[in-house]
Amino acid sequence: MKSKELAKKYKQYVIDMRREFHMNPEQSMQEYRTSKRIKEELDKIGVEYVVSGGTGVVATIKGKGEGKTVALRADMDALNLTDKKETEYKSQVEGMCHGCGHDGHTAMLLGVAKVLSEMKDEINGVVKLFFQPGEEVAQGAKAMIKDGALEGVDSVMGAHLMVDYPTGLICTQPGSLYASADLFKIRIKGKGGHGSMPHQTVDAVVVGSSIVMNLQTIVSRETSPLDSVTVSVGIFNSGSRFNIIAEEAYLEGTTRYFTYAKGEEIPKTIDRIAKATAEAMRATVETEYQYLTLPVINDERCSKIAENTVRSLLGDEGVAFVEKTPGGEDMSFFMKERPGIMAFIGAGNKEKGIVNPHHHPLFDIDEDALEIGTSFYAQYAIDFLNSDFK
């Protein structure tokens, strides 16, 4: 298979690019050097591109024949994390690190640009390459959509290197894969006073504590046991002194769920429970809810195409089926607008010591996974364009 052969041909190129990006991590939405290097490489390859979403880049590869348009997406931002690996490609930026694999995603997509540029005669349609900024802050996809990146696009595909699974496995299963990642805030107003005379007060700490406990009934009593939902309060701020009953309290937390319907329901439920609890205790509250990412729900048709791609590249043993993850991914915004899939590409290797989880200061990937990911990206695009997807 030509895509597989070309991915092998450009394996060292992709590794070298990944290491360069790894040594030069950048903040979300500030990936200026990364963007510049992507454009320089695309110029060398001879692939047209436009800037999108600030530091993002959309490259276009037109095939010989007419057809659909598929977009392949890679994120490119890093984390505020100190790289503690002792490798030749260790981060050179203090307090910044590619601790999630985005450097590998970007490098693989540049490899795809090389592979597909040599396979234009086999492409019936158009392949767009989305080099996306700001995934870690859930801003990049929305910025690119606002700039028109999805215009004319029929479907989108993204992939994430995952050290949780060994190199040689790819998951493309249909249905929910990532959860939402939303933020809620609750501001409580009571009546302060002396700790020795609580009857003269409306204790914001007690009200806040009751709200925290009552919010747990969203999972235990308002959600089907067959659904997966979490409601977690991560911040509870109140009080100024041991013998003063607090007048105000502030709660902040996150929710996770796997369906769009839950996303419409949960904010209303949080608001109802918080206000009813406060009213029962003579306090008032204000609630605020922010959708940070949506659930990632793989389209069944695209998933089937991708599964066949995996089988053609790796055989039946390369197909993985995994548990959905409560983590968030802003690829969800592309997939809300267009059908598509998010794939997991195994990048763990115990024999090489590649075992540390994502967002860990010793995080690394098995670079053999880059060749597999490059061929998968490229072959999926060809398979999708040659499919009867409508």
Q: Any idea which residues carry the catalytic annotation?
A: 77, 135
Whether the CB-CB separation of 157 and 72 falls below 8 Å is answered with yes
Please report, for residues 67, 272, 386, the alpha-carbon distance to residue 124 in angstroms, rounded to integers and kept in the order given: 5, 52, 7
Distances (CA, A) of 141 to 55, 150, 309, 336, 363: 11, 10, 26, 11, 25
Query: Hey, how many other C-beta atoms are within 10 angstroms of the C-beta on 30?
Result: 15
Q: How many helices (H) and strands (E) does the chain have?
A: 11, 16
d(CA 334, CA 145): 7
How crowded is residue 276: how many other Cβ atoms within 10 Å of its Cβ?
13
Name the residue with tokens 């995952």. Answer: 162
CB 382, CB 117: distance < 8 Å: no
314-318: list long-range contacts, CB under 8 Å, 24+ apart: 314/168, 314/169, 314/170, 314/372, 317/168, 318/168, 318/169, 318/170
Rg (CA), the chain: 24
Q: Which residues contact 226 (CB under 8 A, 6 or more apart)?
A: none
Exposure string (b/e) for 325-350, b if CB count within 10 Å is 16 or more?
Answer: bbebbbbbbbbbebbbbbbbbbbbbe
In degrees to the nearest 10, what's the CA dihedral of 64, 127, 4, 161? 180
On whether the CB atoms of residues 109 and 377 are closer than 8 A, the answer is yes
The two tokens of residue 337 are 């607008």
